[in-house]
Amino acid sequence: MLAFLGRSILLGLITAAIILVAVPSLRPSSSVSLPQLDDEPAPLSFNYAVKRASPAVVNIYNRRYESNEGKPEPELITQGLGSGVIMSDKGYIVTNYHVVANADQVIVALQDGRILNAQLIGLDQLTDLAVLKIHADNLPVIPVNPEYKATVGDVVLAIGNPYNLGQTTTFGIISATGRFGMSFYGQQDFLQTDAAINRGNSGGALVNTRGELVGINTASFQQATNIETYGISFAIPYQLTIKIMNKLIADGRVIRGWIGIEGREINPVMARLYDANQVNGIIVIGMNPNGPAVKAGFKMNDIVIEIDGKQVTNVQSVRDIVTDIRPGTRVNVKILRDGKPMIIPVKVANRPASENKPMPLR
């Protein structure tokens, strides 16, 4: 009897072992903890940049008085929204011209919950920039690195208030630099990025991975052209932003020098045709009949190679050099005429309003 029971138990154990080997899912599970490696890489994050820059990005609401039939007093309504960047602990804020141009009242909302009235310091339609001022203590200021120069491929973050959803950060790279003539308002270099910039982001900050200001977000290509696009947005470089901001703070407007010439860039082939060894420069192809250049004795096909001691490299360099010269200043312009160098003194004038017309997109 005992021998029979022993054989039955042994056969049962052997059968159970065979079943467990044949069907692994029937085996009892056991939790095994994976070893933690000391050199395990941390997840990629731009939290440091966002924490450093985002407190200085504000929400901007513009309000305007509108008359309504049947009401004796005009009604103050909120008509638009955008973003801005605190540039100074004195309360100066940079935003876009188109965000505040038609506002009767501007309200600024800080990320710490403070809501303040803003004073309009100045507007510049050509660069689509405006400067506001608020009066408050302990203001966060956007970090700026004067040594930083944006290059294609740099990772950037766009911070703003799209569609009044609250502060939002989008991610992308610098897609191109020196995009020219992409403005509603004038000719200037833009940074192109694929970071999403939507309505309400205008005037917000484009920053690098250190949280340093790269530019002021201004528009998407779709907003500028009504063409369905994705991943093409623009920002005003911080160097130009700071230059315009300082001019607006000093004078309330941007005073631009002007000599009234239109030029095209010269290349080596054109240099040979014009009997000029100098490659860098621009060829005069047009002049304002009442401008300083005509009065000074410029002629068509003159090659401008130097203005006020600064070398001319292209059309944009001429614009930059002349714009920064105070109207009324007399400067020497070095040209080549028929292959021979000449110096022509020119009295720089104030850029007329007729020259501030919007330029076509290209």
Which candidate in 124, 128, 154, 302 is catalytic? 128
**Residues contacting 17, CB < 8 A, separation 6+:** none
265 known member of a binding site: no
Amino acid type, 182: M
The token pair that represents 33 in the structure block: 């903890």
With b for 16 or more beta-carbon neighbours within 10 A and e for fewer, the 160-196 pattern comes to bbbeeeebbbbebebbeeebeebbebbbbbbbbbbbb
> Does the annotation mark 202 as catalytic?
yes
Show Cβ contacts of residue 360 under 8 Å, excluding neighbours closer than 6 positions. 181
Confirm whether residue 259 is marked as ligand binding. Answer: yes
Which of 98, 175, 233, 302 is catalytic? The answer is 98
283 appears as a binding residue in the annotation: no
CA quadruple 176, 315, 182, 156: dihedral positive or negative?
A: positive
Nearest Cα neighbor of 101 from 122, 74, 75, 76 is 122
Q: Which two tokens stand for residue 305?
A: 């190679």
Three-class SS of residue 77?
strand
Q: State the Cα–Cα distance between residues 52 and 140, nearest whole angstrom.
A: 9
Q: Closest by alpha carbon to 209, among 284, 271, 265, 153?
A: 153
211 is in an annotated binding site: no
Q: Quick check: is 128 catalytic? A: yes
Q: Write down the catalytic residue from 54, 83, 175, 202.
A: 202
260 annotated binding-site participant: yes
Neighbours of 253 (CB within 10 A): 11
Q: What is the DSSP string of 235-267?
A: EEEHHHHHHHHHHHHHHSS---EE--EEEEE--
Q: Annotation-wise, does 262 bind a ligand? A: yes
CA distance 36 to 8: 48
* Both structure tokens of 27: 């085996």
Q: Closest Cα partner for 292 from 317, 319, 261?
A: 261
Catalytic center residues? 98, 128, 202
Q: Which residues are annotated as a binding site?
A: 259-264
Binding site for substrate: which residues? 259-264
